[in-house]
A and B are shown apart, each in its own frame.
Chain A
Amino acid sequence: MINVPKQRWKTERNKDIFSQTSFKRLKEIPNKLYKFKIFKKMSGQKTELLRFTTAGSVDDGKSTLIGRMLYDSKSIFEDQYDAIKIASEKKGEANVNLALLTDGLKAEREQGITIDVAYRYFATPKRKFIIADTPGHIQYTRNMVTGASTANVALILIDARKGVVEQTKRHAIIASLLQIPHLLVCINKMDLVEYKEDVYDQIKADFKEFSSRLDIHDIEFIPISALVGDNVVNKGDNMPWYGGSSLMYYLENVHISNDENFIDCRFPVQTVIRPMSDEYHDYRGYAGRVAGGVFKKGDEVAVLPSGFTSKIAKIDSFDGELQEIFPPMSATILLEDEIDISRGDMIVRVNNQPNSTQDLDLMICWFDETPLQLNGKYTIVHTSNEERCMIKEIQYKLDINTLHRNEEDKEIQLNDIARIKIRTTKPMFVDSYSRNRITGSVILVDEKTNATVAAGMIRG
């Protein structure tokens, strides 16, 4: 038997979910107790950081969902709530517009859209979360790409009434291109389809069929109602047929400790630390952040591009000597031999080295209003290294709604995704993006305007 939802979804977007009965119930949970639990658990120092990205546009319920997650984890403060309430009233809106919480800029609030990436924070007893909240419309592809670049999880929202639409596909394609390790598909507004299992099953099947063409390894599906709260934090009684976990349970438990590459040792040198003091007269430390693999004292290493080899004499930090370092730790490496090393060099293991090449095959997202120039010269930034490059070939433009490869139209404009070939002035030391998101990515910078014009992911 199907439970009839207690209230219907109104057609105006972002209405006052706080006045809904389910929220009122939540308000009765003593705030203090819940918050105190977070504090106690966090002091235990076992909280991981999980970054996830959401993309969405008007009406898909994204703001309501984020509002609910923030509210349920007690991350919306009273004065924030009061401020948006006053702002909503001023604009003559009948209900409190929760989008005002996430839309930070004046232009965004005026137009009622999210333009930029906004970062939101909340914590539960298990994890601390950073949400990169991005707009979903195609004209903001570059913002979605930006938000996706550091995410562990991509949260994709589907309106249960509409099923898999163009925007769903676009978000999934971006998640696949940017190699977000985990994809979570939330089928929202289940209350509006009477919580029917077959609606959920059909959408799931449609999505799976489409995503089989993508490079995504871990996909989960959850039927939710952000408005009523089903399967958001608690499972609720409306979908007894659903045996999986709630959204919050998923976010708290998805296995992210293998998202980093612990195999290929990569340490891009950011700067050289030379105290030149009496106490540290001959100290020469290479400061950086581990981009891959595990480095230990005594390891035999090679330094690129010179190729000289040495051993790690010491791994240093303010907190004392470290026995081993791994991503994403910042540290300082000291070598046994005196080798000339500077910013842009990379310390790697002798028997596991990145590709050395001047020819790169890239998938790029174009960020600039001036189109990509074939044979144009740009600055290419890869970890701490920087060279110049020339665009040798534009292979195709990817339609990010259909995955169609367009080999005719090679005019690459703002927000376009394309596959290109470039040649650099000097060899670069790179991995494929699918192997390492740090050493497999580059940005292109316009030499005249200094603008970041493209993000590139290395193929191969």
Chain B
Amino acid sequence: MSSYYLNHLKELESEAIYVIREAVAQFENPVMLFSGGKDSILMSYLAKKAFFPAKVPFPLMHIDTGHNFPETIAFRDKWVADMGAKLLVGSVQEAIDNGLVQEETGIHASRNGLQTAALLKALEDGKYDAAFGGGRRDEEKARAKERFFSHRDEFGQWDPKNQRPELWNTFNGKKNFGEHFRVFPISNFTELDVWQYLKEEKVELPSLYFAHTRKCFTRDGVIYSDSDYMQRKDTEELKDMKVRFRTIGDMSCTGAAESNAETLDDIIAEVSMTRVTERGTRSDDKRSETAMEDRKKQGYF
């Protein structure tokens, strides 16, 4: 038996570093999307590894809906400062104010869908020709078909039926002026891989991922945190609950899960035993069976 052996986390790390370096070499003006969630933390951490000891040669971009958890914003600012990277913020509020998009109304209102317009505008304004995203193929059925280098037309749209074949590890990032690419370095990580890797590497994480007590209410089986951004029905009662978040998005679409997992080991044990996908707590995916595919076609991450 050969002694030249890489465990699965190291192999996934090596693959992601390869993809990030390849994108930087092939594109003129890349940017890395950063939400403050675990996947973008992992991705930016791997970017740091890819160019060590040099600084990461591209800025990070956060599309801020204005409905973020305050903890996310605080963590984002600290993380980016520690990385020595430049942070750009694309604002959904601004897009609304400028009439680019219209705010949803009613009890299910969410700014999740509005991010697409703000994102595409920010990419266009900055003339970015590649945007790194922390999407993973195990997350959702439409994402299972995603390439590492995913071509977008001049309207920022994804055409799932006309994707470029991707063989071996040869990536074709050629494009016409005005088109861009989405690059997904951590495509092959599963949720469990992400947690195991972050633990192995002792990466710092936002407190939202760990069990804590907060005021919550339940709607359609999803537990939401109390916030100014969500209207409650009279029947929806606030309760103190011990919860943690499996994914972090907007306060208006990210559901919590009841949990006692206070450490990374607890989280890994919980994730490896769970019977519900992480996006099972996301109301944005529950809008229809093809919610993710439809949003991705329009240019969502």
B173 and chain A: residue at smallest CB distance: A450
- Chain B contacts of A130 at CB under 8 A? 188
CB-CB contacts below 8 Å: B163-196 with A:
163-170, 172, 174-176, 187-188, 190, 192-193, 196
Contact indicator per residue, chain A 433-455, by CB within 8 Å of chain B (1) or not (0): 00001100111010000111001
Give which listed residue, B4, B145, B174, B268, contacts A257 with CB less than 8 A: B4
Q: Is the CB of A77 within 8 A of B144?
A: no
Q: Is the CB of B7 within 8 A of A45?
A: yes
- Complex formed: what's the CA distance from A296 to B141 in Å? 42
Q: Is the CB of A257 within 8 A of B144?
A: no
A295 to chain B, nearest CB (A): 11
Q: Is the CB of B272 within 8 A of A35?
A: yes
- Complex formed: what's the CA distance from A49 to B10 in Å? 10
Q: Is the CB of A106 within 8 A of B188?
A: no
Give which listed residue, A257, A330, A441, contacts B167 with CB less than 8 A: A441
Q: Is the CB of B21 within 8 A of A287?
A: yes
Q: Is the CB of A257 within 8 A of B163?
A: no
A327 to chain B, nearest CB (A): 8
Q: Is the CB of B18 within 8 A of A119?
A: no
CB-CB contacts below 8 Å: A262-286 with B:
262, 270-271, 273-277, 279-280, 283
- Complex formed: what's the CA distance from A328 to B9 in Å? 12
Given A118-B145, A452-B172; A105-B160 close (CB under 8 Å): yes
- Chain B contacts of A77 at CB under 8 A? 274-277, 280
Q: Which of A140-148, A190-198, A417-425 contacts B (4 or more CB under 8 A)?
A: A140-148
Given A79-B277, A105-B293; A381-B8 close (CB under 8 Å): no
- Complex formed: what's the CA distance from A107 to B268 in Å? 36
Give which listed residue, B12, B18, B269, B276, contacts A49 with CB less than 8 A: B12
Say yes or no: is A26 at the interface (Cβ < 8 Å to chain B): no
Given A78-B276, A121-B138; A146-B166 close (CB under 8 Å): yes
Say yes or no: is A258 at the interface (Cβ < 8 Å to chain B): yes
Give which listed residue, B7, B137, B170, B176, contacts A46 with CB less than 8 A: B7
Q: Is the CB of A289 within 8 A of B289?
A: no
Say yes or no: is B54 at the interface (Cβ < 8 Å to chain A): yes
**Which of B143, B172, B175 gathers most chain A CB within 10 Å?**
B172
Q: Which of A36-44, A160-168, A200-208, A237-245 contacts B (4 or more CB under 8 A)?
A: A36-44
Given A106-B290, A275-B54; A123-B167 close (CB under 8 Å): no
Given A45-B9, A367-B165, A450-B174; A116-B4 close (CB under 8 Å): no
Say yes or no: is A343 at the interface (Cβ < 8 Å to chain B): yes
- Complex formed: what's the CA distance from A118 to B293 in Å? 14
B283 to chain A, nearest CB (A): 13
Say yes or no: is A83 at the interface (Cβ < 8 Å to chain B): yes
Across chains A and B, the number of contacting residue pairs, with CB separation under 8 Å, is: 202
Q: Is the CB of B137 within 8 A of A257?
A: no
Q: Is the CB of A381 within 8 A of B170?
A: yes
Interface residues on A, range: 35 or more
A315 to chain B, nearest CB (A): 13
Say yes or no: is B238 at the interface (Cβ < 8 Å to chain A): no
- Chain A contacts of B141 at CB under 8 A? 101, 103-105, 118
- Chain A contacts of B24 at CB under 8 A? 271
- Complex formed: what's the CA distance from A82 to B277 in Å? 11
Q: Is the CB of A104 within 8 A of B142?
A: yes
A300 to chain B, nearest CB (A): 20
Give which listed residue, B169, B274, B275, contacts A438 with CB less than 8 A: B169
Given A289-B18, A443-B167; A279-B276 close (CB under 8 Å): no
Q: Is the CB of A120 within 8 A of B51?
A: no
Q: Is the CB of A43 within 8 A of B7?
A: no
A128 and chain B: residue at smallest CB distance: B8
A117 and chain B: residue at smallest CB distance: B145
- Chain A contacts of B14 at CB under 8 A? 289, 328-330
- Complex formed: what's the CA distance from A57 to B25 in Å? 39
Say yes or no: is A47 at the interface (Cβ < 8 Å to chain B): yes
Q: Is the CB of A384 within 8 A of B168?
A: no
A436 to chain B, nearest CB (A): 10
Give which listed residue, A150, A270, A316, contacts B25 with CB less than 8 A: A270
B294 and chain A: residue at smallest CB distance: A106
CB-CB contacts below 8 Å: B36-74 with A:
48-55
Say yes or no: is B124 at the interface (Cβ < 8 Å to chain A): no
B274 and chain A: residue at smallest CB distance: A77
Given A270-B22, A271-B21, A328-B15; A104-B144 close (CB under 8 Å): yes
Give which listed residue, B5, B176, B275, B293, contacts A48 with CB less than 8 A: B5
Q: Is the CB of A452 within 8 A of B164?
A: yes
- Chain B contacts of A142 at CB under 8 A? 165
Give which listed residue, A127, A149, A260, A318, contacts B49 with CB less than 8 A: A318
Q: Is the CB of B268 within 8 A of A43?
A: yes
- Complex formed: what's the CA distance from A441 to B165 in Å? 14
- Complex formed: what's the CA distance from A441 to B21 in Å? 20
Say yes or no: is A212 at the interface (Cβ < 8 Å to chain B): no
- Complex formed: what's the CA distance from A262 to B196 in Å? 28
- Chain A contacts of B105 at CB under 8 A? none
Say yes or no: is A87 at the interface (Cβ < 8 Å to chain B): yes
- Chain A contacts of B268 at CB under 8 A? 39, 43
- Complex formed: what's the CA distance from A455 to B167 in Å? 7
B196 to chain A, nearest CB (A): 6
- Chain B contacts of A52 at CB under 8 A? none
B203 to chain A, nearest CB (A): 12
Q: Is the CB of B272 within 8 A of A48?
A: no
Say yes or no: is A294 at the interface (Cβ < 8 Å to chain B): yes
- Complex formed: what's the CA distance from A149 to B14 in Å? 18
B284 to chain A, nearest CB (A): 14
Give which listed residue, A47, A87, A379, contacts B8 with CB less than 8 A: A47
Contact indicator per residue, chain B 129-167, by CB within 8 Å of chain A (1) or not (0): 000000001100111110000000000000011011111
Q: Is the CB of A83 within 8 A of B289?
A: yes
- Complex formed: what's the CA distance from A128 to B142 in Å? 22
Contact indicator per residue, chain B 196-223, by CB within 8 Å of chain A (1) or not (0): 1000100000000000000000000000
Say yes or no: is B98 at the interface (Cβ < 8 Å to chain A): no
A329 to chain B, nearest CB (A): 5
- Complex formed: what's the CA distance from A123 to B12 in Å? 14
- Chain A contacts of B161 at CB under 8 A? 105, 107, 115-116
**5 residue pairs from A and B, CB less than 8 Å apart:** A78-B275, A105-B161, A107-B160, A118-B141, A118-B145
17 A-B pairs besides A123-B190, A270-B22, A317-B49 with CB distance below 8 A are A32-B273, A47-B7, A48-B5, A87-B289, A104-B142, A105-B142, A120-B138, A121-B190, A145-B165, A255-B1, A257-B4, A273-B53, A326-B4, A382-B170, A437-B168, A445-B174, A451-B164
